[in-house]
Structure 1
Amino acid sequence: MNKPKRLHPVAAVLRFLRSLKELAFPLVIFFFVGGRGEDKVFDLIYVVGAFILVFGMLIFGIITWLRFTYVVDEGELRIEQGVFVRNKRFIPLEKIQTIDVTSGVIQRLFGLVKIQVETAGGGTEAEVVLSAITKDEAETLKGLLKNEWKIEEVESEYSRDFKLSHKELLVMATTSGGVGVVFAGIFAFVSQFDGLLPLDALYNYAEKLISSSITLVGLFILLVVAVSWGVSIVSTALKYGKFTLSQRGKDLFLSRGLLEKRELTIPLKRIQAVRIQENMIRQWLGYSTIYVEVAGGGNEEKGEFSTILVPIIKTNIVHDFMKQFTPEFVLEEKVVPVPVRARKKYIIKPVLPALLITIILIYFLGAWGLLGSFLIILGAIVGYGMYREAGFLVKEKQIKLRYRFINRQTVFAKRNRVQALRYEQSYFQKVESLASIIIWTQSKLMGKHFSVVDVEESKAAELYKWYSYHD
């Protein structure tokens, strides 16, 4: 690969489709809102303009493909691209942190894959994206970028696998937050197109069948929730179907997806922290999600510096799992809870906004506004739950944090992987001899941070010394 190469021609099509996706909403307005006037000449100009716009995006995609080349030479990955301004990028191979391989529907039709290369401090987007190359080229490129990956030479004791069962996949799909997102999307779609859909006629027809309009509204909501739930289950199954986590030597390999297959390589030495997340439903059912904070890598869906290591796993086997796959971050001892005097501060924080909302409701709705008092009760329950979960533990060269708002988070990190640590104290905390601790797993500008508030002031000071003064 010491000669410049172009991507597969399918890359031009993918570029064109991505442009269409980015301009989807303006194009919908362009086609359906404009035009249809009495002047046929104007309508013709309108249609021709739309055609030129779409055709221009296709031509631009082709030119972008022609102007893009890549090569690995003299210990560097070299990229040249740009239609009007030529841009050259040189990335030393030792700076590469992770290599993410995906295969969408179009790529799989042509036997191609997409490679995303992450570097240290690469931000929320991949440093390099090769949208369409053959599988053979991908394997060759991976070997050149990370020539220390020799899976066939790894001893068996360093090879292990973890797979999701159909039951775990179903539990994950039915308890994910995607249900609410889909529900909101369906509601927003219907509200935007209510002028085009015969909703009034449907409502009148349904009202003849159902005497109570309240019942009708309830049935409609249940229907939308059921559809949202079904869509969420299907999308989760497509996204995480055939999930496999493998360890080969000093690297972890993730593979998942039915329609779009994704393969991700995570060097163990790049893991900055391990985070266990439990939402309220999964915590009740005894399930968790395991994230890893990876230097130079992130979650492409959310733009975060977190990568899902295992989407769902029984909580009672999490420590056994970590002993096998991330043994450096195992710390089984329980955290030291925040002091009892911090309880009122935890409860007051969510109660105050709930109280403000209740006062506003009473002002505008009178006696009916008293129903807002349930928000105050809910805020007190949430605050008490936050207090019960909060705490941290330091043992030798490891730290463990636990906190919650809606989801319970447990973070494991090693001292030499923590990029920054700070403890801070407000006036009210100083009166109570309390403080807050914050750790960053990457730089303060780009990295992920975790915090526990209202810990014992003396413990926070000891933690600061533990981090600042060590061998």
Structure 2
Amino acid sequence: MMNEPRRLHPVAALLRFLRSLRELAVPLLIFVFIGGGNDGRFFSLLYIMGIMLLIVGFLVYGILSWYLYTYRIEDGELRIEHGVLVRKKRYIPVERIQTIDISAGIIQRLFGLVKVQVETAGGGNEAEAVLSAITATEAEQLRSMLLSEKKENIDKEEEHSEVFTLLPKDLFIMASTSGGIGVVFSAVFAFITQFDELLPDDYLLSVTEEVIKSGVVFVTFSGFLVLILAWIISVISTAIKYGKYTLIKKGNELLITRGLLEKRELTIPLHRVQAVRIQENIIRQLFGFASVYIEVAGGAMEKSEEYSTFLLPIVKKSEIKNHLLLFTPEFFSKDEQFQPLPIRARKRFLFRTTFPSIVAAALISWFFPPWGYISIVLIPLALLLGNRMFRESGWLLMQNRLSLRFRFINRHTVLAKKNRIQSFNLVHSFFQRKNRLTSIVISVQSKMAGKHFKVVDVDEDDGYELFKWYSYEKFE
């Protein structure tokens, strides 16, 4: 029974030990490579003994931490007691628990274990409680007991499930059209450019002569190989992170599972979803694909995680409405005819993109002639971008829901309900006032802090009408 104190699996002691070593990896390396010096065998022996004692101390501390860590469910609370030098007790009321996330790193999966993170409303950036190593059976038992105590009166008819999965071809499309491939390309290119630090000067000189002899063909072929390598790395990293991605709607909760090496499970109550955001980069928009995110209130987030949560990592735009109807029906809409910006706002978009490109092209041309003159091509590209930003910005008001659309490089469409918008602001600059324009900014709760979305240069009258819609009878 869960009302009796339980300990984590002994692997938790190993995980604590490895975490301690990782946190002190840099000091230990400095201690090893600098501490010994040339002080003689006696001092060298002292250094080695000190390191060994430190490592043994970490191991003993990990074992004690595991042994003294207990958890149980009692009187409608998850009760945790832990601490070696200072004993701590943490009692978490079940009604405060928002999500129970289950993941499994490499070590946990080797032993058939999982890690459970319990998140509460307003719990900050870290999980309220972390059970680093328990069996999958215990994790499911813990989750079912906590959720059953919190929601005893769920209707049986709400227990039906809707499922969305990412197929291998979807992962391939996602990796091939991701903006992250550019980051990978930059990293590969930067790594290759560091070869001159490792290779002899004579060898580099001979290679340079060969490149000059072979001409443009060799350079083009090398660039092509770098692109292929960057693409392969992007595909592999995407498959590792989002492989076996499954989205399930069960009752009033969304269950997300993903990961090949580290399996992660995330449970999101639908009432915590504050907004839905559809994102299209240039490549995906060209081929009719998009990614769908949800902005989730509260909850912990690991440092490596995104600020927003993927709902549909990659999906055809024509299928988004159907998926929203199944998984987040509150944000579903049949009508997507957005209200465009006034024509007088176009010149402001063109100025904002073109002026920086003119300055950049002038500086590049001045300092790097004659090749720098090629940078003049930035100006028409900036004009195209500014016009595209103007044409694709807008808003849509439907009863209790506001949708915003805007773009810079990526196009974003935000769907937000009135009673989940935390604040609504109208922002006027001096030049906007002269043109009877304004910017509308809405804020919603998100994982780390508030998330803000902005559409600039909306007609001033429209802005005041939207502000009136939000301000009066907000929660009707």
After superposition, give the CA deviation of every residue in 1:374-421 in whole Å (9 maximum; x if it has no partner). Answer: 333333222222111111111111111111111111111111111221
Contact preservation (8 Å) 1:207, 1:213:
no
| 2:354 corresponds to | 351
| 1:404 corresponds to | 407
Structure 2 CA distance for partners of 1:66 and 1:329, relative to 1, 3 Å: same
Structure 2 CA distance for partners of 1:416 and 1:192, relative to 1, 3 Å: same
After superposition, give the CA deviation of every residue in 1:107-126 in whole Å (9 maximum; x if it has no partner). Answer: 11111111112222233332
| 1:383 corresponds to | 386
| 1:254 corresponds to | 256
Contact preservation (8 Å) 1:297, 1:306:
no
In structure 1, the gaps of 5 or more residues are none
Structure 2 CA distance for partners of 1:174 and 1:395, relative to 1, 3 Å: same
TM-score, normalization by structure 2: 0.87
Give the alignment's Cα RMSD to 1 decimal. Answer: 3.2
| 1:419 corresponds to | 422
Identity, % of aligned pairs? 51
In structure 2, distance between residues paired with 1:68 and 1:8: 10
| 1:245 corresponds to | 247
Contact preservation (8 Å) 1:124, 1:305:
no
Aligned-pair distance for 1:327?
1.1
In structure 2, distance between residues paired with 1:90 and 1:190: 53
| 1:232 corresponds to | 234
Contact preservation (8 Å) 2:297, 2:446:
no
Which residue, 449, 452, 461 being the options, matches 2:452?
449
| 2:147 corresponds to | 146
Structure 2 CA distance for partners of 1:130 and 1:186, relative to 1, 3 Å: farther
Aligned-pair distance for 1:262?
1.4
Contact preservation (8 Å) 2:421, 2:444:
yes
| 2:176 corresponds to | 174
Contact preservation (8 Å) 1:103, 1:114:
yes
In structure 2, distance between residues paired with 1:115 and 1:77: 13
TM-score, normalization by structure 1: 0.88
In structure 1, distance between residues paired with 2:55 and 2:191: 25
Q: Which amino acid in 2 is paired with 1:2?
A: N
- Is 1:269 aligned with 2:278? no
In structure 2, distance between residues paired with 1:330 and 1:445: 26
Contact preservation (8 Å) 1:158, 1:248:
yes
After superposition, give the CA deviation of every residue in 1:331-354 in whole Å (9 maximum; x if it has no partner). Answer: 232211111111111122233333
| 1:317 corresponds to | 319
Which residue, 282, 287, 290 being the options, matches 2:289?
287
Question: Aligned ranges for residues 55-70 of structure 1 at < 5 Å?
Answer: 55-70=56-71
Structure 2 CA distance for partners of 1:50 and 1:378, relative to 1, 3 Å: farther
| 2:470 corresponds to | 467
Q: Which amino acid in 2 is paired with 1:107?
A: Q
In structure 2, distance between residues paired with 1:50 and 1:375: 57
In structure 2, distance between residues paired with 1:262 and 1:444: 17
In structure 2, distance between residues paired with 1:20 and 1:193: 32
Aligned-pair distance for 1:136?
1.8
In structure 2, distance between residues paired with 1:430 and 1:142: 54
Q: Which range moved further: 37-46 or 106-115?
A: 37-46
| 1:334 corresponds to | 337
Structure 2 CA distance for partners of 1:186 and 1:247, relative to 1, 3 Å: same
| 1:392 corresponds to | 395
Q: Which amino acid in 2 is paired with 1:127?
A: E
- Is 1:373 aligned with 2:400? no
Q: Which range moved further: 139-148 or 201-210?
A: 201-210
Q: Which range moved further: 174-183 or 164-173?
A: 174-183
Aligned-pair distance for 1:463?
0.9
After superposition, give the CA deviation of every residue in 1:287-339 in whole Å (9 maximum; x if it has no partner). Answer: 11111111223653555541101111111110111111111101232211111
